Chain A
Amino acid sequence: MTTATFGPMCSSGAFINFGHSDPPIRMGKVWLNDVPAYTGIAAVDVYIGATEPSETEGLGYGGAHVIEDLIAGKPVKLKATSPGTDCYPRKEIETYVTKDTINQAYLFNPRNAYQNYAVAVNSSNRTIYTYMGKLLPKFTNATFSSAGQLSPLLNDPYYRTIGIGTRIFLGGAEGYVSWAGTQHNPLKERLPNGTPTGLAGTLAVTGDLKDMSTRYIRAATFQKYGVSMFVGIGIPIPVIDEEMVEFLKVRDEDIQVEIFDYSVQRRNKPSYGKVNYKQLRSGKIKINNKSVQTGPISSYARALEIADLLKERVSSGKFYLTDKVQPLPLDGEYRSLEILSQEEL
């Protein structure tokens, strides 16, 4: 069975190796279309993060747009500076690159495909702008972000088939699960059917940017919040036994998710209970007896398209299923950051 998701996933980005110029440069600072990239690795290796804003265009253009432009084959302006060394004498370079001219480029997304997420509402008197979109005052709307019954990790809630090494569909190309994603939290409360009711498992994924398509990787701008990136992921799940059949039968009405008040600017936000995805997809839920309009941040239509496309690739022999090399952790504490002195540690 094929599963898929297509939603904004901030924890995404690409490693790029530009190849060496003549004379060569050890890039100290790098900008791609005026978006800074991280260079604290080898001479011409950089990491461009999806959410990095442009230094000239602010929140309207960022790392995700650079990635989308590269995938689209558009020329991207590369600027780099360096103090210069004996082995890398060049101090400055400005040139244009495309995905065909750069040596290598692959996405490495530290946290994608969240197993479940949250419903966002706003109890305050003013509109707030969040990574869950625009939230109107006084519980006027609610947003959510999950493919629900189609989502990979909700169909394999205990990671029986999805693990490190699993071959996946990533942004139109073949990719792999490279590690458990950051904030992977398998001990999150679960329903008897295994599905967690909030932020649980996550995946770190890798794939060749040069083979991707802008239909499945798209830059996103959230007003007054910043840049993110829509990432399309598809994962085939082999039906290995009867228990797997039970997991794969999961429907939107079987998956619950918690409602949080995003106007409370704290780590732990007040909860307004749980709803299921069938209710969320109906367009209306009830909060404190008030009818609240709902809207998804992720695209179910595009997820469905990916699941169908992957199914077609698997059945025509273009995509081969792999067994995982190592399972994802099923336990481990999910830690938060406390402000401590050395003595308090």
Chain B
Amino acid sequence: MKKRKLVLSFPEKIVTRPITYKLVKEFDLEFSILRAEITPDVEGKMLIELKGTDDQIGKAIEYLENTGVTIQEAAKDITIDKNSCVDCGEYTSVCITQALSLDNKTGKLIFNKDKCILCELCLDCCPVRAIRVNM
């Protein structure tokens, strides 16, 4: 079993169609929807974590792409500019999943991408604008 976190973008013409339920029905995948929203340009965005075998996930992705869904790997969308980061730690207090934490000894920022659910609560916290999330 593998876990993959993906950002799915549903264009306007398919945004009302039932699609995600097929991931269970046809591909026997476990998933959790971590976030979902409709953007101002009427595009549906969903952060989803898929759990299944490589084969199941691969086929599901193929299905999604054929229906017109655009897929991005979620974790790649988060960047922390290490040059401007000063290792303060306000973000650690708002990070629900504790993906952002401070090293006990050095006090430096640790970012555990696997734990991040792209909630963006940290985004407007960074006083030096070193954290950027593109969803």
Contacts and interface: CB of A to CB of B under 8 A. Distances in A.
A225 B125 CA distance: 11
A8 B125 CA distance: 13
A329 interface: no
B93 A228 contact: no
Interface stretch (A39-47, A213-221, A258-266): A213-221
Given A283-B98, A293-B94, A300-B107, A223 B125 contact: yes
Chain A interface bracket (under 10, 10 to 19, 20 to 34, 35 or more): 20 to 34
Interface residues of B, number: 26
Interface stretch (A103-111, A133-141, A242-250): A133-141
A143 interface: yes
A296 B87 CA distance: 10
B91 to A, nearest CB: 7
Given A133-B125, A223-B124, A301 B93 contact: no
Contacts of A294: 92-93
A222 B124 CA distance: 8
A177 interface: no
Nearest to B96: A293
A233 B98 CA distance: 30
Given A220-B128, A299-B86, A293 B93 contact: yes
B107 A304 contact: yes
Given A220-B128, A223-B125, A283-B101, A143 B108 contact: no
Given A143-B90, A293-B92, A222 B106 contact: no
8 contacts: A133-B90, A134-B94, A134-B125, A228-B127, A230-B86, A283-B101, A297-B127, A299-B88
